[in-house]
Chains A and B, each alone.
Chain A
Amino acid sequence: EDQVTQSPEALRLQEGESSSLNCSYTVSGLRGLFWYRQDPGKGPEFLFTLYSAGEEKEKERLKATLTKKESFLHITAPKPEDSATYLCAVSPTSGTYKYIFGTGTRLKVLA
């Protein structure tokens, strides 16, 4: 069964304290892996798409990486405005075209 697991569920960081969020996935074939940011009361906002192992994408303080079994979202020197829930989703090649979402990591960055 296709599955996505994110860890940790919640993370508190001091401003400037770098860390990584994990997204482990089990799929027969990967069409793409996606990272989203969701603020309270808002819809998920697209961050990155990764298609193949070894691929990396960067945007400001965020960097996403992909292996055959997991993806990491690295946050370098975070700021309070980075506080949000970060969601990972995979689109498997098998079956119909759909995304499977993890339950997210709630990140809180303290000033």
Chain B
Amino acid sequence: DAGVIQSPRHEVTEMGQEVTLRCKPISGHDYLFWYRQTMMRGLELLIYFNNNVPIDDSGMPEDRFSAKMPNASFSTLKIQPSEPRDSAVYFCASSLAPRNTIYFGEGSWLTVV
């Protein structure tokens, strides 16, 4: 089975530009998570969805961040406008149900200059 698929793998953009990260969860999984990883703060949950509905977005740092899940096989995380402090690795993950293991994608490495 294909794992969680993320794109782009690497993105370098200028401050002020819009960034869109994409994720395809594992087929059949009904929970989708967006995490951000930095050296200073480790892995932080930004938002998660259940059955395409956002359940908890308390980790979204600012209004510049938004996430959508238009269908069961696709989600986006958008940053507009981007700032240098947004530079991090953004992971998408999915799981089948509560108490179940979540599986991570390979990450999107974002650098904002």
A residues sitting closer than 8 Å to B (CB atoms) are 31-32, 34, 36, 42-46, 49, 51, 87, 89, 91, 96-104
**B106's contact among A32, A42, A46, A100, by CB below 8 Å, is which?**
A42
Measured CB to CB, the nearest residue on chain B to A42 is B106
Q: Given that A43-B107, A87-B43, A102-B42 are known contacts, is A97 also in contact with B48, CB under 8 Å in the complex?
A: yes
**A104's contact among B31, B42, B105, B107, by CB below 8 Å, is which?**
B42
A102 vs B55: C-alpha distance when bound (angstroms): 23
Number of A-B contacts (CB under 8 A): 50
Contact B105 A43 (CB under 8 A): yes
Contact A43 B106 (CB under 8 A): yes
A66 vs B87: C-alpha distance when bound (angstroms): 35
Contact B99 A51 (CB under 8 A): yes
B residues sitting closer than 8 Å to A (CB atoms) are 4, 31, 33, 42-43, 45, 48, 50, 55-56, 91, 93, 98-99, 101-107
Q: How far is the CB of A106 from chain B (nearest CB, A)?
A: 11
User: 17 more A-B contacts (CB under 8 A) besides A34-B102, A51-B99, A96-B48?
Assistant: A36-B104, A42-B107, A43-B91, A43-B104, A43-B105, A43-B106, A44-B91, A45-B104, A46-B102, A46-B103, A87-B43, A89-B43, A91-B98, A96-B55, A97-B50, A97-B55, A99-B45
Contact A98 B42 (CB under 8 A): no
- B48 partner residues in chain A, CB cutoff 8 A: 96-98
